Structure 1
């Protein structure tokens, strides 16, 4: 029986077989390998919502994602990112997964904590699992590193961020969709509809389920913005659970979704038309 290949399968094969020629034809090997992966965009957005309390007006949230620590995204590069984040003076810091590319093979695990410990946010540092954090028997490795660095790991959990006047917003985190055990109903089913609710979900297509709950803003990573984009085409390939939403801000029914392009690379150490980014969100009340 003749095997039928989808357009996406064909493109995946094309990428694996002739990536070098594609990159050369569309912008140059050296740029994609050495220049763009070392760039950094600081993307800023204002989030205006009637449920944001007055005490949170001007509240700054910084998201970073997908560092994929490896021989290509080094600890020195992570230190640069930490310095950039601290310069933004975030009130709240959120990491949306994939810290190490291969946790069980990374040889400098003991050096990660002192770097991440330097990140400062007076209202806390929160993180969720990505697929690479679970992969390669990395579940406990990631948990130990991220918690020792002062982050609270949200695995199908919800926490409140409160002000002295008693007003609050909530931050929820679900487990990774690919290799974890995400619980939408158990995590999001009891969200207070009167509170501004933020969801951390590594994979952006979690929005297809999250939109059914009282989520106002979902923050995700995972896609790397495709990591390699072609002019006038967009991402050449996006990973599972990032096929519907791949980069930037979306309106998904009643909620907003932001897909961060991440910082590192995986599989291949190239980026083209998908510059690494850190995202800052400033909350603004309507009243």
Structure 2
């Protein structure tokens, strides 16, 4: 009788061991294995020189994350022409000083930012399975939070504003960078329904060399509106690249209604008669209650903008 159960028991122990090893890898190594993604996007006017744009997103800083802080500081060595921060900087209300310190070297460069829900509200413990349930049901996003502790987002705002970064919260702005007149249109986080498309309607600034659209969460209603208006490039974050991915398959969820095939990196978005480039950053952090990443290392992206094809 004992011999009959020996093989299944061995198999179960093997599977359990592999599972424990995978969890250890995801929580102990990959979540701290920071990478730089590089992409080229042809959106500048003919004859313009290249523009190097560093996108950082979904930092989700928790107090004491020294390696992440040092890595963020090191990105200043890239000497970007422009920095775009697409939100969710915080995952700990006590981590604002460390977040500002980590981003301090990057604040020396021209920049612009939007916030995400985790900048406004402290994280709460939730069942991770709800993300799969949302995908199955087709329901995504949340109403503005009630009775949830708030993060001191205004301290981040004040530091970014003092450095001269553009606050793109449901508004527009312009910067002169490397001889180019850049126009920006930004939205507050659609994931908690703070976006106000009516406040930024009208499409790109026609007299600018380039108009960029910036938002935290890449919901289809926002991507459709920006693309239909004619923005050549949309920058977003929020998805964490799926966070827990299947090797050689990809992401299972995006935490919004964007399809998993475009969960991270450069792709395109189309509406009738219009096409925009879309770059979704996989971000460099996680919610403090799910501090794991698998087959989806944390990242920032250096986008090199080049002249568009004539």
**Does TM-score exceed 0.5, indicating one fold?**
yes
Q: Name the counterpart of 2:140.
A: none
Change in 2 beyond 3 A, CA 1:243/1:130? farther
- Tell me the alpha carbon deviations over residues 159-203 of structure 1, each in whole angstroms, 9 at most, x when there is no partner: 2232586x5221221111123521223214242346422111111
Q: Name the counterpart of 1:9.
A: none
SS in structure 2 of the partner of residue 238 of structure 1: coil
Q: Name the counterpart of 2:37.
A: 43
Q: Distance in 2 between matches of 1:130 and 1:217?
A: 19
Q: Distance in 2 between matches of 1:228 and 1:35?
A: 14
Change in 2 beyond 3 A, CA 1:125/1:270? same
Matched, 1:187 2:200: yes
The answer to whether the 8 A contact 1:251-1:257 is kept is: yes
Matched, 1:162 2:176: yes
The answer to whether the 8 A contact 1:117-1:149 is kept is: no
Q: Distance in 2 between matches of 1:193 and 1:27?
A: 54
CA shift at 1:149, angstroms? 5.4
RMSD (Å), alpha carbons: 2.7
CA shift at 1:146, angstroms? 3.5
SS in structure 1 of the partner of residue 191 of structure 2: coil
CA shift at 1:79, angstroms? 2.5
The answer to whether the 8 A contact 2:81-2:178 is kept is: no
Q: Distance in 1 between matches of 2:292 and 2:97?
A: 27
- Tell me the alpha carbon deviations over residues 60-96 of structure 1, each in whole angstroms, 9 at most, x when there is no partner: 111010000115x71442222221x112110000110
Change in 2 beyond 3 A, CA 1:163/1:91? closer
Q: Distance in 1 between matches of 2:190 and 2:16?
A: 31
SS in structure 1 of the partner of residue 112 of structure 2: strand
Q: Distance in 2 between matches of 1:30 and 1:199?
A: 38
Q: Name the counterpart of 2:285.
A: 264
The answer to whether the 8 A contact 1:91-1:121 is kept is: no
Q: Name the counterpart of 1:33.
A: 27
The answer to whether the 8 A contact 1:247-1:261 is kept is: yes
SS in structure 1 of the partner of residue 29 of structure 2: helix
Aligned counterparts, 1:221-232, within 5 A: 221-232=237-248
Q: Name the counterpart of 1:107.
A: 94
Q: Distance in 2 between matches of 1:268 and 1:160?
A: 37
Q: Name the counterpart of 1:88.
A: 78
CA shift at 1:148, angstroms? 4.5
1:54 equivalent among 47, 53, 57 = 47
Q: Distance in 2 between matches of 1:182 and 1:226?
A: 23
Q: Distance in 1 between matches of 2:201 and 2:231?
A: 8
Q: Name the counterpart of 1:238.
A: 254
Q: Name the counterpart of 2:70.
A: 79
Matched, 1:178 2:191: yes
Change in 2 beyond 3 A, CA 1:76/1:27? closer
Task: Flag structure 1 segments of 5+ consecutive residues without an equivalent.
Answer: 1-20
TM-score of the pair, normalised by structure 2: 0.74
The answer to whether the 8 A contact 2:61-2:99 is kept is: no
Aligned counterparts, 1:266-285, within 5 A: 266=287, 267-285=289-307
The answer to whether the 8 A contact 2:72-2:103 is kept is: no
CA shift at 1:218, angstroms? 0.6
CA shift at 1:243, angstroms? 4.7
SS in structure 2 of the partner of residue 235 of structure 1: coil
